[in-house]
A and B are shown apart, each in its own frame.
Chain A
Amino acid sequence: MSLLVVLEHDRGKWVEANDEALTAARKLASDMGVELHAALVGVGARDLVSQAATGGAAVVHLCEHEVLTDYGPDAVGETVAQLVASINPSAITAVGTSRGNEVLAQLAARADLPFVANCMTVAPSDGPWSMTRVQWGGSLLEDATLDAPTKVLSFGHHSVVAEVADAPGAGEVREFAPALDPAMAATIVRDRDVQTAGVTLSTAPVVISGGRGVGSAEGFDQLEELAELLGGRVGCSRAVTNLGWRNHTDQVGQTGTRIAPEIYIATGISGAIQHWVGAMASKRILAINTDAEANMVTKADYAVIADLHKVVPAITAEIRRRQG
């Protein structure tokens, strides 16, 4: 009896999410009272066996095939499905990254099993399992049950805090050679593009927007300067477009562009709902505003209650200082 955790790697490079996967899988295997196995699929993974063992894997299944030159959902999915058929684990898990969920979906489809994605907690039992999983991107939780001869489930990415194992696993390596149709090469990664320069408002990692509080079209020069330093883009509120200070293409909001940067710096923006709808997917929001009661301030993660005309140049100066 075993729990199989499917690990990821990028052409032989360990992926941080594996630490989460192993942390969650160790706990689950322990709750189940079974041995923890790990699967590493594709060329270049041999060097990662020790890391999987450190993470608690008693057995590491190294799955290699000439088709598996790089990631490919069909080929990797089929490989895992064949491995599962071969070793017959009680359950298979992974962390719910883009690839992790895709591979488990492939496995479940091929094995005609249910698959529960993005669990927070899992309660194994002899009968159907109970789990709590994520809906609505985390805005809601779902209590669910999973009734299947073999359980397939992923843990939500970042729902588990990676911990170092109390004791390493034995890390016994077992080679597994799947039988793959060469046609599966069709969905193997062919090539890679590096992100090109020239970010757009919707893809920029940093967006610095100005509202009516900027005061004039020229007032945006300070924002442009900071945005350039940060490799970001300048946006604006609807009021600014209406005043003719910026082009509509710069407008963030319901009727402008919807953005999701790493950080959104909203300066002099009160935060009308239409604007908020465009900005709310930002990972972090910093509001700079003189009004502590402004919508944007109360909804932001960070706020500075001060005049943007003083704060923005100060940020620029501080960055220049640190960059020497």
Chain B
Amino acid sequence: MSDFPTSAKVVVIGAGIVGNCLVGHLARLGWTDIVLIEKGPLPNPGGSTGHASNFIFPVDHNKEMALLGVQSANQYRDMNLSVDSGGIEVARTQERMNELDRRMTSAMAWGVPAEMLTPAEVKELVPFINDEVILGGFHCPTVSVVDSLETGTVMRKEAQDKAGLQVFANTEVLDLITEDDPVPGMSQIKAVVTDKGTIEAEYVAIACGVWSNRIANMADTYIPLVPAVHQMADVGPMDVLVETNNEIGYPIVRDMDTFCYERQSAGSMEVGSYGHRAILHHPDEIPSNEEAALSPTEMPFTQDDFDPQMETAIELMDMLGDAEIKYAINGLLSLTPDAMPCLGELPDVRNLWSAAAVWVKEGPGMAQVVAEWMTYGYPRVIDPHASDISRFYPDELSDEHIWARADEHFIKTYGIVHPSEQWESRRGLKESSLKAITDAAGAEYFTARVWERPHWYTSNADLVERYGLSEREVEWDNRWWSPIIDAEHLNLRENAGMVDLTAFQIFDLEGPGAVAFAEYLSVNKVDKAVGTSTYTPWLTPDGGFHSDLTMLRLGEEHIRVVTGAFDGGRDEAWIKKYMPTDGSVTFTNHTEDYVTIGLWGPNAPAILAQLTDADLSHEGSPYGSVRSVTVAGVDVDIFRISYVGDTGWEIYIPWNDAPAVWEAIASAGADHGLRPCGAGVYAVGGRIEKGYRLMGAELESEYNPVEAGLARPKVKAADFIGKQAYLAAREAGPDAVMCTFAVEDHTDSAGRQRFIQAGNAPILTNDGERITDSHGRVSVVTTAGNAPSYGKYLCLGYLPTDQAEIGNTFKVMYMNELFPVTVVATTGSAFDPDDSRLKG
């Protein structure tokens, strides 16, 4: 055993699947001087990896999870530590059959082979299944079973051979030492204190699974995850399984409607459940290796919770009933408030990294993500924005929040979750000062992370009739949607709409270095006259999108950053990561100091004119300009901009004055047909017919501004993050182009009108073939929604450049059926392509 080191370039804490793969990937990327510390013994330290069921279903509706699952499965395959067992998700209900059609759609999107099976076909593959209780199955032949412990050993070995990795098992981390950072509110990691000595480290990564937050707390920071129980019972032996003479000889069966799986493990069957109550533990309740009867994360089985699962499991496979329950655990795994992992640099501790809340099925891929992030400043394999630990707001970083959300979503592990599904717990964390008013208007609120946003207003129900709109035919398409959204949209285009934009995240950069720093973050030129604005991408060092937002030049040394509520945390962290440390720039979060009201529509100028003496003409308040004016007696900033395609303003109002201003605008608009208008219009309907891109949907780090159609004619002289890559991208030209598609026919094979939902719907050739560009990026629908003014239902999505021509026809798969679409716009807008309405 080597002597315990006193310093290292990077210390990785935790030798589960994630920590082991992280050191392996760091070594592959050329890192050296790496130390891996593990509290438990090797190769099984006693964390969740040691009791994982070790199978990978590579189909997920979520792009990050799906692609990293495939990526991980491939890494296991490359190490020869995986067997393709195949897997079948069976349906007991029609609703689940519909969900399996949706799985087929995701499988097509992410390029995973899959087929639907009849009950008889399921029984051919799994002869011991009771085909009378199922309606069908979704078969995925590349479902694999992996050896996660051996993978860890192999990855460690690779890092030892390539990079001289030093491994210290049975070594407990006692503290993380940090030092104040010049940026207020930030610190930086300095050293790891263990029971064997202290290691000074430039980088530290926490890959401690269910214990991750306990370690993070040592650096006064927070990784929001909670250890939760997944029950598993090993029953056997059973002759039919023993006779395979194999670790796994039959496909894994996921009995989705009962939240159970049956996975052969040699002569036995592992029956796992996600159907019980959420059983959550505090990390301090997890016993040590010495105290645990089995291992720390294999907690005592609470049989009562499992009993209902046994009944349904026997229903599906009668032979399970007569086999002995040889081993049963309450196995711990990690849950987060939003069911996504926690990856990336801790936003308040420089060089302290999180690789947590990752399961075996995505471990190697996510370790690669973190290793690339540490190496290149942002991952290359995929855009991990939904897993980025800096996505969380302070309100999400509490045990109360995590426990409530984990309690709510545990049962959804095998659930049928609508893409727009809203949380029930922990609502109202952040509300506008307009809340009483929007409540009175019958707002239906959706959340943008912690922020409550009116999505539509039931008080506008009368408009539905006026515009002759109706509900959608199929409940799934209608769920979390209302024809009121389209009615509000049409009214805005006809008259005017007023939007509560309180959830906008408002950050001010001030000081002598503010403008130069803002310039460094932005692709487009920020250093313009006071009172102007810049709509701009922020790029990753590799030239992909990190952010897409607006910056206002409020003063000589004052830049205001306005970004969306889904990205506030990530953007704030990005600012603080790159901020000058010489004190020349200060950062202030003004989100809760201002309420933003959007006022748009042909009547907007007439309405606002009643409340202010300011010159609202295109000379006095030109597009993109910011003016400090008085509206209804309140000092506000009016910003002439539009994300909906009609003229108007975002009005920035001091928090407590906002209700009065709202009421004044409402009164002034009463005779102009003004109605409140929800985020349903602002975030989807209004922007989609204008082709406005959204960060996280159209804009991801895998794409660059040239491809997204956001490249300006010229490149500014000043340096900015990602500039070299951006210049190269301009030189190379786009490999794919963002297009707008119109759905030509909504009729499905049952004669019903269906409405495509975005996220996992692939854009296919007319022959139903997947489309990928030369970088292997697949064409999927990034946003879909009705465009009532345009008169069609539209989709946004990338196409390989040579196919991106107006008039080209394609098919979009939705719920495993194909719907014809036509390209109606490439870089521009389908509706009002000349932007004449903005000039109105």
Interface string of A241-276 (1 = CB under 8 A from B): 111100010000011000000000000001111100
Task: Give 3 closest A-B pairs by Cβ, nearest first.
Answer: A295-B41, A293-B169, A273-B295
A292: Cβ under 8 A from any B Cβ? yes
Chain A min CB distance to B331 (Å): 12
**Contact present for B298 and A293 (CB under 8 Å):** no
Given A248-B242, A293-B167: A254 in contact with B327 (beta carbons within 8 A): yes
Q: Does B294 contact A (CB under 8 A)?
A: yes
Q: Is B308 an interface residue (CB 8 A)?
A: no
Count of B interface residues, CB-CB < 8 Å: 29
Bound Cα distance from A241 to B150, whole angstroms: 16
DSSP majority for the B interface?
loop
**B30-73 vs A: 1/0 string, CB under 8 Å?**
00000000000111101000100000000000000000000000
Whole-angstrom distance between the alpha carbons of A270 and B326 in the complex? Answer: 22
The CA of A272 and the CA of B54, in the complex, are separated in Å by: 15
CB neighbours (8 Å) of B267 from chain A are 241, 248
Is the CB–CB distance between B237 and A273 below 8 Å? no
Most chain A CB within 10 A, of B46, B167, B267, B268, is at: B267
Question: Which B residues are in CB contact (< 8 Å) with A299?
Answer: 41
Verify A293–B327 contact, CB threshold 8 A: no
Residues in A whose Cβ lies below 8 Å from that of B268? 255
25 A-B pairs whose Cβ atoms sit less than 8 Å apart in the complex: A212-B150, A241-B266, A242-B247, A248-B237, A248-B266, A255-B268, A255-B326, A255-B327, A272-B44, A272-B149, A273-B44, A273-B295, A274-B327, A277-B293, A277-B294, A291-B43, A292-B1, A293-B42, A293-B169, A293-B170, A294-B42, A295-B42, A295-B43, A295-B44, A298-B170
Q: How far is the CB of A237 from chain B (nearest CB, A)?
A: 12
Q: Considering the complex, which residues of chain B in the window 262-321 have a beta carbon less than 8 Å from any beta carbon of chain A? A: 265-268, 292-295, 298
CB atoms of A271 and B41 under 8 A apart: yes
The CA-CA distance from A291 to B44 in the complex, in Å, is 13
A244–B327 CA distance with the chains assembled, in angstroms: 21
Residues of B within 8 A of A242 (CB): 247, 265-266
CB distance from A255 to the nearest CB of B (A): 4
Closest to B51 in A: A273
Beta-carbon contact of A298 and B234 below 8 Å:
no
Which residues of chain A (274-322) have a CB below 8 Å from chain B? 274, 277, 291-295, 298-299
CB distance from B384 to the nearest CB of A (A): 32
Distance A212 CA – B44 CA, assembled complex (angstroms) = 14
With A244-B245, A248-B242, A293-B167 known as contacts, the answer to whether A274 contacts B41 (CB < 8 A) is: no
Using known A-B contacts A248-B237, A248-B242, A255-B326, determine if residue A294 contacts B43 with beta carbons closer than 8 Å: yes
Q: Is B459 an interface residue (CB 8 A)?
A: no
Chain A contacts of B42 at CB under 8 A?
270, 291, 293-295
Tell me if B246 counts as interface (CB < 8 A to partner A): yes
CB-defined contacts of B293 to chain A, threshold 8 Å: 277
If the complex has contacts A248-B242, A274-B327, are A254 and B294 also in contact, measured as CB distance less than 8 A? yes
- Roughly how many angstroms separate A271 CA and B41 CA in the complex, as a whole number? 9
Closest residue of B by beta carbon distance from A253: B327
Q: Complex Cα distance A295/B41, Å?
A: 5
Chain A residue nearest to B150 in the complex (CB) = A212
Please measure, in the bound complex, the distance between the C-alpha atom of A299 and the C-alpha atom of B268, giving whole angstroms: 28
Q: Within 8 Å CB of B245, what residues of A?
A: 244
In the complex the two chains form, what is the Cα distance from A292 to B44 in whole Å? Answer: 14
Residues of chain A with a CB closer than 8 A to B327's CB: 254-255, 274
Chain A positions within 8 Å of B298 at CB level: 273
Give chain B residues whose Cβ lies under 8 Å from the Cβ of A272: 44, 50, 149
Q: A248 to chain B: which residues have CB within 8 Å? A: 237, 242, 266-267
Contacts A273-B46, A294-B42 known; list 15 others, CB within 8 Å: A242-B247, A248-B266, A254-B327, A255-B326, A270-B149, A272-B149, A273-B44, A274-B327, A277-B294, A291-B42, A291-B43, A292-B1, A293-B169, A295-B41, A298-B41
In the assembled complex, which residues on chain B have CB atoms less than 8 Å from the CB atom of A271?
41, 44
- Name which residue of chain A comes closest to B265, CB basis: A242
**What chain A residues lie within 8 Å of B1 (beta carbons)?**
292
A212, A254, A270, A295 — most chain B CB neighbours (10 Å): A295
